Amino acid sequence: TQLLEQSPQFLSIQEGENLTVYCNSSSVFSSLQWYRQEPGEGPVLLVTVVTGGEVKKLKRLTFQFGDARKDSSLHITAAQPGDTGLYLCAGANDYKLSFGAGTTVTVRA
Amino acid sequence: KAGVTQTPRYLIKTRGQQVTLSCSPISGHRSVSWYQQTPGQGLQFLFEYFSETQRNKGNFPGRFSGRQFSNSRSEMNVSTLELGDSALYLCASSLAGGVTEAFFGQGTRLTVV
C-alpha cells in the first residue's frame, strides 16, 4: 500500500493541452518532492516544496503544496512531447522519501 | 559538478549468490539513501546513511544491508539472492537528508536468474 496516492495513473494528451497530476496522503510531510523518470533511468528532481500553501512555478510547470502539507499537485501548461515520462511525488519524513506509484504521462505530437 | 554515480549499471546474478552495489554521492553531500524500484511495488525505501550512521531502515529482510564510508560513498549488499530481488536499485544523495533535496543516480539494474 502506497503512503501517497497519485492520480490519475495514466494520462495521454495532445500537444498543447494542459494537465494536472494529484498527490494525496493522510500523512503530514516535512517536504514534498516531484520527480520525472524516463525508462531505465533514475528519477530527476523537478521541485521541492516545504511550506504549506506554497506554489512554485518552473516555466510551464506549476507545483502546489496543500495548506496541511498532506497533498500536492503538478500542473503543466501547453504540454509538449518532451514532457512525456513517469511523474512521481515523494513525501519526506524521518530521513526517507515515501513515493507515490507514479503517473505515466504521454504527450502526443 | 558531478552527479550521483552508481556502479555497475547492469548486473546479472544467479539465485543464491550475493551482490554488492556502489554509490558515490554528489561532492559535499553526506546523506545517501537506497531505494528498490519494481513494476509491482514502485519505489521502496531500503535505508539511509549520514556520516557513516544508519538513521532509518525500510521493511526489507536482513539479506539487505548497507554501509557508508568516511568519504560518504556507500555500498549496499544483498546476500542469498532470490528471483524477486530483480529490480532497479537507486541511490539518492542529499546534503543532510530530511527535508533537503534528494538527487538520484541512474541506478543499477539487477537481474537474478
User: How many of the other CB atoms lie within 10 Å of CB of A108?
Assistant: 11
pLDDT of amino acid B96? 84
Q: Residue A98 in contact with residue A32, Cβ under 8 Å?
A: no
Question: Residue A2: which pLDDT band, with cuts at 50, 70 and 90?
Answer: low
pLDDT digits (tens, 9 = 90+) for A28-63: 988 999 999 999 899 999 999 999 999 999 999 999
* Interchain CB distance below 8 Å, A95 and B98: yes
pLDDT of amino acid A1? 53
* Interchain CB distance below 8 Å, B104 and A35: yes
Share of residues in chain B with pLDDT > 90 (%): 92
Residue with cell 500536492: A72
Stretch (H or E) spanning A75 = strand A72-76
Nearest CA in chain B to A88: B43
Question: Residue B98: which pLDDT band, with cuts at 50, 70 and 90?
Answer: confident
Residues of A in contact with B99 (CB under 8 A): 30-31, 48, 50, 92
Residue B2 has pLDDT above 80, yes or no: no
